[in-house]
A and B are shown apart, each in its own frame.
Chain A
Amino acid sequence: MSEKSMPHFFSRSQMQVPLFMGMASLASLFWSACGFAAQVMLTDEAGEPLANAVLMVDEVPALASHSYVMDQIDRQFEPHVLVVPSGSLVDFPNSDDVRHHVYSFSSAKPFELGLFKGSDAPPVSFERPGVVVLGCNIHDAMVGYILITDSPRFAVSDTQGMVSLADLPAGKWPVAWWHPSLFEQAPVALGELDLSQASQIISLPVTQAGSVVKPALSPLQQRFKNATQ
């Protein structure tokens, strides 16, 4: 496990991720050769809908760039996962009535926004692709992710695991995915996929935190126990 969990940032060629793809029988009914809105459902290993998962499609025309916002509402980063193209500026407005101290020690873009309120904080520019884990120095529970990608098209799954990609050219395109469980690892390639088929479901090798029983042992104990067994 320790070998498997060794970090290999952005070495896409070495990815050996098992791919699961299922086709629904009705997918062909919605197929279109000149642009279509792809609707894909992402699930975890257990087949449960997987939220906050990111699907990226390469080698397709990019959509027009726009401004990106990582809001903070009710002491949570909103959205939990934000995907931005490389070189984007992201605003960090504070919607709460308390101050936040947003920071990231991620190598993709370490930064620190000292205590601020409202829209006091300046936008942060994320030039390099990678994963930036966001935290608030005074609210340990606040965790947010910004995925910086060079892929032209990308989308984040909603709470039902649904991903929508509009105006996607028909055909097969290289597809990759990312989920916060991958932590700072680079997105994982799924190969070339035709996403135009209706009611596609893609199962990702993710174990959702909520579905796993938290061990009673402390992390250190758990580790010690695992090590001695």
Chain B
Amino acid sequence: MRIRSLRTRLILTAVGLLAIVLGLVFLAVYASTNFSAQRQAQRQLEIGSNVFSNLLEARARELTNATQILVADFGFRQAVATGDLATIRSALLNQVGRIGADQALFFDAKGVLRISTATVAGADKVEVQALQSLSDQAMITVIDNRPYLLVEAVVRAPVPVGQVAMAFALDTALANELQKITGLEIRFVSRRDQEVMSAFSTMPFAQQNMSMQEGTQQFADEIYLTIPITLLDQAPYSVVAQLASPLNEALASFDYLKRELMIITLIALLVSSLLAVRLSGSLARPVTLLALAAGRIGRGDYSGKVALPRTDELGMLATSIDEMRVGIAEREKLISYNALHDPLTGLPNVSVIRERLRSAIANAQAGVLAQCDLVSAELLINARGQDFMDAFIRQSVTRLVDHLPAHALLAWQPGVGFLLLLERGNLDQAVVDIDALLARLSEKMQVDDIKLSSQWVAGVVEWPLNGSDPHELLRQASIALADASPGADRVAVYQAQRDRAFQRRIQLARDIRYAPEYKELSVVFQPKLDLASGEVRQVEALMRWTHSELGPIGPDEFIVLAEQTGSIGMLTQWMMDAVVSQLRDWIDRGIGLQVAMNISARDLDDPLFPQRIEGLLLAQQISPAYLSMEVTESALMTDPERSIVSLRVLRELGIALAVDDYGTGYSSLAMLKSLPVQDLKIDKSFVLQLAEGSEDAVIVKSTIELAHNMGLKVVAEGVENLYSLNWLKERHCDVAQGYFISRPLAAIDLEKWLDDTRGTFGGSEGA
């Protein structure tokens, strides 16, 4: 059985140890008293046997003296000397009675037994069977099968005339008498050839069968320590006095001691048990309290103060646990605050929004969720740095917090922007309120000595109309945000069908990475018409993606996605391979076309990009003059300095460079002057509607002039009618590109188109 309780274990250990010690003490005392009792009995036996022998001798001396008195009596001597047997017998009987002998014997001068008082006069026929000296004066004899102590005296008148012997029976009476003095049980045993003739004992009859051997003997309840004293040993006769010391008596003297010890042992055990219970209680109780307190802390209950009114280790432990409780409570508060708040703004984060949404929806409330984001935040960060951005955001927060509508919760989530949860009100009111907030945010703001204006947009979703899952609602707000654009549409409301477009974008962004692998990509070439000569010497290579499910995907859609999702580098690489191998093919077949391909800002960021192109061209033995590259104006302006470095490397390779989509960005022509580019491609949005006197026409015309002044050739895209073509030709635009000339064509179609249209467009001379 396992003992679980510390307290029980303490008690058992303490009491167990004491019980063992006391048990050992008790055993030791018990054993030593037993040993001592045995020793005592043995000692008593030894002393007793000495006393016994001395007593027998003393008795013999006493009797001898008494007998000597008899034989010294003048009258008795006279009777003996005169052979007066009757007188002698009477005198002997008288003396026997006087000294308590059992019988007297008289031998004449020749040693013949003449009188025995044990028999009647004239029939003095006793048989002295054995006789052995015990001491100087005493003898042990066996007369008629009974043992006697015998003393003798010679009758002198004055020469020896006879001898008197007094016999004292070794019987029960003597044994009893000796027992009183020695304190030992005494037994006289006479044997003839091992057969007991007589036995006299102080002990009960049952114990008379005692073995004659020395040692311990047990009879019923009594244990005796015995010692035999051989008084007579004359074969075949023997007389033995057996002395026995009852061990129980010796042991009994220790009974009191043992009883006392037992009582003391029991009391000690009882007291120690009580003490152990008390002590273990005083140990275990506070431990239990501390365990309960620790359990409360473990469950997150930090309310109760932990303290023990004691100064020992347990008190210290309680103090430590309490300190731990306070510390954990503080840290947990901080952790939960951090978990629910944004460290930058101190506003709640998305988790709080989610939680509030969940509980509001659970409470059958309705409201609006909005996500607000700064337009082109990435540009701002790139231009001013993250610290500036952080300061800007913090300042924006201060602008908002005091102007929030009622029942609004404002949150900031890094990477997401502001989240605003309105728990009351309808959608219309919400859009108005949010628009007002965006207006406040978009006002000019002074941050670190820089005054800047910013543009904010918001995506709004109604709940629970569009869903009851906070995650889903947040996603829908994000989708709506993607639809918002600066200006009138800066607040976009989520609509279910817009969600499908978003899903499509997600799918395309995912699948585009696998497009080269699935051979869904292809290249088409759009001719570039040299307006001066009317010839087509250049083509722009354009990528086409035919999705296995969704069909052809427009470049405007997937290029942007590829740039946003980082797949653009892979597309560029694929494009390069395709263009170079096409160039190789055309050069081999004598078709001299310069192919322009588009590269992104990310390609310019890649320092190894020029090397790869060079390696590719070298591998195919193609002159760099066959290749040109077009970089959009916005790509160039992301990091103009780095763009310049990369473009110079490309230019040094001998590759012609063009600025694409010119007019959509914020670059100035002065800035373009520092770029190693040869061509400027005016964005098609300017070329599409070239009506005389229109704003676009003014821009295009002045752009052509300014470019030419800077030594740049001008390419106009989006030429879709003859008017535009002629207009451009008249304004000395160098190259035209557009559907009016040709839509982008596959390589084989392009070759056919070139054959078919040779000379069709004519030169500027012909126009």
By a beta-carbon cutoff of 8 Å, the part of chain A in contact with chain B is 2, 5, 103, 105-106, 110, 133-137, 140-143, 183, 217-221, 223-224, 226-227
Which of A110, A137, A141 has the most chain B CB within a 10 Å cutoff?
A: A137
**In the complex the two chains form, is B152's CB within 8 Å of A219's CB?**
yes
Please give me the residue from chain B that is nearest to A226 by CB atom.
B111
Q: Which residues of A are found within 8 Å of B112, using beta-carbon distances? A: 2
Which of B72, B159, B163 has a CB less than 8 Å from the CB of A143? B159
Which of B78, B154, B158 has a CB less than 8 Å from the CB of A136? B158
Known: A135-B159, A140-B158, A221-B131. 9 other contacts (CB 8 A): A105-B78, A133-B159, A135-B158, A136-B158, A183-B159, A219-B111, A220-B150, A220-B165, A224-B131
Q: Which residues of B are found within 8 Å of A2, using beta-carbon distances? A: 110, 112
Pairs A-B, 8 closest by C-beta atoms? A135-B158, A105-B81, A223-B111, A220-B152, A224-B131, A143-B158, A137-B74, A105-B157
Q: Which residues of A are found within 8 Å of B118, using beta-carbon distances? A: none
Beyond A218-B139, A219-B111, A220-B163, is A105–B82 a contact (Cβ under 8 Å)? yes
Q: Bound state CA distance, A224 and B163, in angstroms?
A: 12
* 26 CB < 8 A contacts A-B: A2-B110, A2-B112, A5-B110, A105-B77, A105-B81, A110-B82, A133-B157, A133-B159, A135-B156, A136-B158, A140-B158, A143-B159, A218-B133, A218-B152, A219-B111, A219-B152, A220-B107, A220-B139, A220-B150, A220-B152, A220-B165, A221-B133, A221-B139, A223-B163, A224-B128, A227-B111
B160 at the interface (CB under 8 A from A): yes
Q: Bound state CA distance, A227 and B129, in angstroms?
A: 11
**In the complex the two chains form, is B110's CB within 8 Å of A103's CB?**
no
Q: Bound state CA distance, A226 and B111, in angstroms?
A: 10
Which of A134, A220, A227 has a CB less than 8 Å from the CB of B158? A134
User: Taking the nearest CB of chain A, how far is it from the CB of B109, in angstroms?
Assistant: 8
Q: Bound state CA distance, A135 and B161, in angstroms?
A: 12
**In the complex the two chains form, is B158's CB within 8 Å of A217's CB?**
no
Q: Which residues of A are found within 8 Å of B128, using beta-carbon distances? A: 224
Q: Which residues of B are found within 8 Å of A105, using beta-carbon distances? A: 77-78, 81-82, 157, 161
By a beta-carbon cutoff of 8 Å, the part of chain B in contact with chain A is 72, 74, 77-78, 81-82, 107, 110-112, 128, 131, 133, 139, 150, 152, 154, 156-161, 163, 165
Q: Bound state CA distance, A220 and B114, in angstroms?
A: 13
Q: Bound state CA distance, A103 and B111, in angstroms?
A: 24
Which of A141, A143, A221 has the most chain B CB within a 10 Å cutoff?
A: A221
**In the complex the two chains form, is B133's CB within 8 Å of A140's CB?**
no
Q: Which residues of A are found within 8 Å of B131, using beta-carbon distances? A: 220-221, 224
**In the complex the two chains form, is A140's CB within 8 Å of B156's CB?**
yes
Please give me the residue from chain B that is nearest to A106 by CB atom.
B81
Q: Which residues of A are found within 8 Å of B150, using beta-carbon distances? A: 220
Please give me the residue from chain A that is nearest to B128 by CB atom.
A224
User: Taking the nearest CB of chain B, how far is it from the CB of A183, in angstroms?
Assistant: 7
Q: Which residues of B are found within 8 Å of A218, using beta-carbon distances? A: 133, 139, 152
Please give me the residue from chain B that is nearest to A145 by CB atom.
B159
Q: Which residues of A are found within 8 Å of B78, using beta-carbon distances? A: 105
Q: Bound state CA distance, A142 and B156, in angstroms?
A: 11
Q: Which residues of A are found within 8 Å of B72, using beta-carbon distances? A: 140
**In the complex the two chains form, is B159's CB within 8 Å of A223's CB?**
no
Q: Which residues of A are found within 8 Å of B139, using beta-carbon distances? A: 218, 220-221
Q: Which residues of B are found within 8 Å of A134, using beta-carbon distances? A: 158
User: Taking the nearest CB of chain A, how far is it from the CB of B574, in angstroms?
Assistant: 148
**In the complex the two chains form, is B77's CB within 8 Å of A220's CB?**
no
User: Taking the nearest CB of chain A, how far is it from the CB of B4, in angstroms?
Assistant: 88
User: Taking the nearest CB of chain A, how far is it from the CB of B125, in angstroms?
Assistant: 15
Beyond A103-B74, A105-B81, is A219–B158 a contact (Cβ under 8 Å)? no
Q: Bound state CA distance, A135 and B81, in angstroms?
A: 12
Which of A134, A141, A223 has the most chain B CB within a 10 Å cutoff?
A: A223
User: Number of residue pairs across A and B with beta carbons under 8 Å?
Assistant: 57
Q: Which residues of A are found within 8 Å of B81, using beta-carbon distances? A: 105-106
Q: Which residues of A are found within 8 Å of B158, using beta-carbon distances? A: 133-136, 140-143
Q: Bound state CA distance, A222 and B537, in angstroms?
A: 176
User: Taking the nearest CB of chain A, how far is it from the CB of B237, in angstroms?
Assistant: 11
Q: Bound state CA distance, A126 and B158, in angstroms?
A: 19
Please give me the residue from chain B that is nearest to A134 by CB atom.
B158
User: Taking the nearest CB of chain B, how far is it from the CB of A57, in angstroms?
Assistant: 27
Please give me the residue from chain A that is nearest to B72 by CB atom.
A140
Q: Bound state CA distance, A218 and B161, in angstroms?
A: 15
Q: Bound state CA distance, A8 and B131, in angstroms?
A: 32
Q: Which residues of B are found within 8 Å of A143, using beta-carbon distances? A: 158-159
Q: Which residues of B are found within 8 Å of A103, using beta-carbon distances? A: 74
Please give me the residue from chain B that is nearest to A103 by CB atom.
B74
Q: Bound state CA distance, A78 and B159, in angstroms?
A: 17
**In the complex the two chains form, is B110's CB within 8 Å of A219's CB?**
no
User: Taking the nearest CB of chain B, how far is it from the CB of A134, in angstroms?
Assistant: 7
Q: Bound state CA distance, A227 and B161, in angstroms?
A: 19
User: Taking the nearest CB of chain B, how far is it from the CB of A37, in angstroms?
Assistant: 34
Q: Which residues of B are found within 8 Å of A223, using beta-carbon distances? A: 107, 111, 163
User: Taking the nearest CB of chain A, how far is it from the CB of B729, in angstroms?
Assistant: 182
Q: Which residues of A are found within 8 Å of B82, using beta-carbon distances? A: 105, 110
Please give me the residue from chain B that is nearest to A6 by CB atom.
B110
**In the complex the two chains form, is A220's CB within 8 Å of B111's CB?**
yes
User: Taking the nearest CB of chain B, how far is it from the CB of A195, in angstroms?
Assistant: 30
**In the complex the two chains form, is B157's CB within 8 Å of A135's CB?**
yes
**In the complex the two chains form, is B107's CB within 8 Å of A217's CB?**
no
Please give me the residue from chain B that is nearest to A1 by CB atom.
B110
Q: Which residues of B are found within 8 Å of A220, using beta-carbon distances? A: 107, 111, 131, 139, 150, 152, 163, 165
Which of B74, B150, B156 has the most chain A CB within a 10 Å cutoff?
A: B74
Please give me the residue from chain A that is nearest to B112 by CB atom.
A2
Q: Which residues of B are found within 8 Å of A217, using beta-carbon distances? A: 133
Q: Which residues of A are found within 8 Å of B159, using beta-carbon distances? A: 133, 135, 143, 183
Q: Bound state CA distance, A222 and B154, in angstroms?
A: 13
Q: Which residues of B are found within 8 Å of A135, using beta-carbon distances? A: 156-159
Please give me the residue from chain B that is nearest to A216 by CB atom.
B133
User: Taking the nearest CB of chain B, how far is it from the CB of A121, in angstroms?
Assistant: 17
Which of B77, B131, B139, B150 has the most chain A CB within a 10 Å cutoff?
A: B131
Q: Which residues of A are found within 8 Å of B156, using beta-carbon distances? A: 135, 140
User: Taking the nearest CB of chain A, how far is it from the CB of B83, in angstroms?
Assistant: 10
Q: Which residues of A are found within 8 Å of B152, using beta-carbon distances? A: 218-220
Q: Which residues of A are found within 8 Å of B107, using beta-carbon distances? A: 220, 223
Q: Bound state CA distance, A60 and B247, in angstroms?
A: 87
Please give me the residue from chain B that is nearest to A183 by CB atom.
B159
User: Taking the nearest CB of chain A, how far is it from the CB of B84, in angstroms?
Assistant: 10
Q: Bound state CA distance, A183 and B81, in angstroms?
A: 13
Q: Which residues of B are found within 8 Å of A110, using beta-carbon distances? A: 82
Q: Which residues of B are found within 8 Å of A140, using beta-carbon distances? A: 72, 156, 158
Q: Which residues of B are found within 8 Å of A133, using beta-carbon distances? A: 157-159
Q: Bound state CA distance, A224 and B152, in angstroms?
A: 13
Q: Which residues of B are found within 8 Å of A183, using beta-carbon distances? A: 159
Q: Bound state CA distance, A106 and B83, in angstroms?
A: 11
**In the complex the two chains form, is A219's CB within 8 Å of B160's CB?**
yes
Q: Bound state CA distance, A110 and B84, in angstroms?
A: 15
Q: Bound state CA distance, A229 and B34, in angstroms?
A: 51
Q: Bound state CA distance, A207 and B150, in angstroms?
A: 31
Please give me the residue from chain A that is nearest to B82 by CB atom.
A105
Q: Bound state CA distance, A219 and B156, in angstroms?
A: 13
Q: Which residues of A are found within 8 Å of B160, using beta-carbon distances? A: 219
Please give me the residue from chain B that is nearest to A142 by CB atom.
B158
Q: Bound state CA distance, A136 and B159, in angstroms?
A: 11
Q: Bound state CA distance, A32 and B152, in angstroms?
A: 57
Which of B154, B157, B160 has the most chain A CB within a 10 Å cutoff?
A: B157
Q: Bound state CA distance, A134 and B128, in angstroms?
A: 34
**In the complex the two chains form, is B74's CB within 8 Å of A219's CB?**
no
Q: Bound state CA distance, A219 and B165, in angstroms?
A: 11
Please give me the residue from chain B that is nearest to A222 by CB atom.
B111
**In the complex the two chains form, is A219's CB within 8 Å of B77's CB?**
no
Q: Which residues of A are found within 8 Å of B154, using beta-carbon distances? A: 219
User: Taking the nearest CB of chain B, how far is it from the CB of A196, in angstroms?
Assistant: 36
Please give me the residue from chain A that is nearest to B156 by CB atom.
A140
Q: Bound state CA distance, A221 and B158, in angstroms?
A: 21
Q: Bound state CA distance, A203 and B62, in angstroms?
A: 46
Q: Which residues of A are found within 8 Å of B74, using beta-carbon distances? A: 103, 137
